[in-house]
Amino acid sequence: LQLHAALDQAITNGEFRLVFQPVVALDTGRTCGFEALVRWLHPSRGTVPPLDFIGIAEESGLIVQLGEWVLRSAVAAAAQWPGPTYVAVNVSPRQFRAPGFVGLVQRALADAGLAADRLVLEITESLLLGDRDQDRIRSELDALHRSGVRIAIDDFGTGYSSLSYLHQMPVDLVKLDKSFVDTITTSPSQYDLVKGIIGLAHTLRLAVVAEGIETEDDRKLLIGAACEFGQGFLFARPMAAADALTWVTAAG
């Protein structure tokens, strides 16, 4: 049904919320940051998950306005957290390519009073490997990185994953996709593969955040694979902004 029209109005009507999922150090359990995840509280449908509307927002271009709202809301929330807790914001390729993205990030940080090193931008491999605008994208990533913003590759391992390109990019961390984590407890060969991916990331001086950690066995195996950071239901589900503030304040 007219999701696009509804989406357009949803921004004006204030129907979006952010939830925040802790990213923890796997050995100590200490919270290092949170990933911001958008939710649409549709008046009649209830909560619409991002997989049902991010694609539509990308196609229509609304992702630019929605992405600005997400970025500004996320850095405003992070400005209330004790340093150095960071916020990670998902940036879709179309949003990154829109004119003025770098300036927008800098204004959002300045307006919120948040240091640049407390923002992580999660981008996808497709942005780095696309066949147009590569020089411009590279120089904008460099500008963001030089200003202190950290860059993460989301869904790492699921795309083309030519690891060689990463080593020339201003990238700081990779998010190991949940689909890999899901298999490590049942398949020794998958576990070996995951160890290899993490080892390659470390060779490229990239830190690794494993996603979708649901069990203590997952956590132990990932520590055994030298993975530093993780997020998943074992630690916490995504939570409202007020709960994230309580969470990170209580954790000290």
CA distance 54 to 47: 14
Q: Which of 37, 105, 121, 169 binds ligand G (CB under 6 A)?
A: 37
User: Is residue 154 at the binding interface for ligand G, with CB under 6 A as the rule?
Assistant: yes
**Nearer to Na ion (CB atom), residue 10 or residue 70:** 70
CA distance 127 to 92: 8
Q: Which is nearer to ligand G, 33 or 232 (CB)?
A: 232
Tally of residues, the chain: 252
From the list Mn ion, Na ion, ligand G, none, pick the one residue 212 interacts with, judged by a Cβ distance below 5 to 8 Å according to partner type. ligand G
Give whichever of 168 and 215 is closer to ligand G, judged by the CB atom.
215
Contacts of 207 (CB under 8 A, 6+ apart): 172, 173, 174, 201, 228, 229
- 35 interacts with Na ion by CB under 5 A: no
Contact 7, 38 (CB under 8 A): no
Angle at 70 between CA 66 and CA 71, to 5 degrees: 115
Residue 55 interacting with ligand G (CB under 6 A): no
The stretch near ligand G (CB under 6 A) out of 6-14, 48-56, 78-86, 135-143 is 48-56
Q: Which residues contact 209 (CB under 8 A, 6 or more apart)?
A: 23, 152, 173, 174, 175, 176, 228, 229, 230, 231
Smallest separation, CB 189 to Mn ion (Å): 26
Q: Which of residues 56-115 bind Mn ion (CB under 5 A)?
A: 90
Residue 38 engages ligand G in binding (rule: CB under 6 A): yes
Binding span for ligand G by CB under 6 A among 78-86, 136-144, 229-237, 244-252: 229-237
- Distances in whole angstroms, Cα of residue 67 to Cα of each of 48, 106, 121: 16, 14, 12
**Partner that binds at residue 50, options Na ion, Mn ion, ligand G, none, CB closer than 5 to 8 Å by kind:** ligand G
Residue entry with tokens 């990670």: 88
Smallest gap from residue 59 Cβ to ligand G (A):
13
The answer to the question of residue 31 lying near Mn ion (CB under 5 A) is no
In the complex with ligand G, the residue whose CB is nearer, 168 or 187, is 187
Helices and strands of the chain, counted as H and E runs: 12, 10
6 vs 37, beta carbon nearer ligand G: 37
For ligand G, how many residues bind (rule: CB under 6 A)?
21
Residues near 96 by beta carbon (within 8 Å), at least 6 away in sequence: 123, 127, 137, 140
Q: Select the residue interacting with Mn ion from 68, 122, 125, 228 (CB under 5 A).
A: 122
> Is 155 one of the binding residues for Na ion (CB under 5 A)?
yes
Structural contact between residues 231 and 22, judged by C-beta atoms closer than 8 angstroms = yes
Chain residues 155-214 in contact with ligand G, contact rule CB under 6 A:
155, 175, 211-214
Q: Which residues bind Na ion (CB under 5 A)?
A: 154-155
Q: Which residues bind Mn ion (CB under 5 A)?
A: 90, 122, 154
